[in-house]
Amino acid sequence: MAQLTKPARHLLERIAWLASEPVPEFLLDVPVPQVDGGDLREALADLAAYSLATRDLLEPRFSVHRLVQDVTRRSLDGGTSHSRLVEALRWVDAGFVGDPEDVRTWPRLHQLIPHTQAVTLSPDEFELAQGGATTMAKTMRHAVGAALNPHRWPKRGRWGSCQAAAPRGCPPFRGQPSRVRI
């Protein structure tokens, strides 16, 4: 960690709060409101040079091993830890561009579900930053919409995607609503 550049260390501390699933590279182009993150693509290259991040060779995404994420989170002091969690939440929220009810945006939005879940349902029981509820609501709208369209996401089943995005349960719908609003 000591050999990393400041932007690379900052990026790793933010990624530590995301899910262990691959992170879409389009997030690197998304600025975090109220945060100067520098060039995130260079920061990712620095992380990859030290084998702290792995780029997918087939798709534009990268991953950080869950143990690296855990060690990184545990190494942060309380103030920095909370700050990076809030940044991660704002980052995912800013990357959540598009109408969750429009199937054309689903491929992009679907990639953010595990990361939204990770930052909004953090086991550390931090209070959600301002906008956290909005991010979760948008994610749930997308998840429910995907679950209701079996032709688009056939592996999900009727409510599977909703349950994956909200492990505490899904709202009890009667029948198939024509338009989902959360």
Strands across the sheet with 54-55, in order?
A: 23-24, 61-63, 54-55
Give the per-residue SS3 of 135-153: HHHHHHHHHHHHHHCCCCC
∠120-90-156 over CA atoms, to 5°? 50
Extended strands (E) in 5-145: 23-24, 54-55, 61-63
Query: Which residue would you say has higher pLDDT here, 130 or 61?
Result: 61
Span 59-105, pLDDT tens digits: 999 999 999 999 999 999 988 988 898 889 889 888 888 777 788 88
Tally of structural domains, the chain: 1
pLDDT of residue 26: 95
124 in a structural domain: yes
pLDDT tier for residue 17 given thresholds of 50, 70 and 90: very high
DSSP 167: T
Q: What mean pLDDT is predicted for residues 28-33? A: 87
Domain for residue 71, yes or no?
yes
Residue 160 is assigned to a structural domain of this protein: yes
Q: Is residue 176 part of a domain?
A: no
Task: Flag whether 171 is in a domain.
Answer: no
Residue 62: predicted pLDDT: 97
Give yes or no for a contact between 111 and 24, defined as CB atoms under 8 angstroms apart. yes
The answer to whether residue 123 scores a pLDDT higher than 60 is no
Q: Kindly state whether residue 178 falls inside one of the protein's structural domains.
A: no
24 forms bridges with which residues in the sheet? 61
- pLDDT score, position 1: 73
Q: Flag whether 1 is in a domain.
A: no
Q: Does some domain include residue 21? A: yes
Range of the domain at 137: 6-165
The CATH number given to whatever domain includes residue 18 is: 1.10.10
Beta bridge partners of 61: 24
How far from each other are the two terminal CA atoms of the chain, in whole angstroms?
41
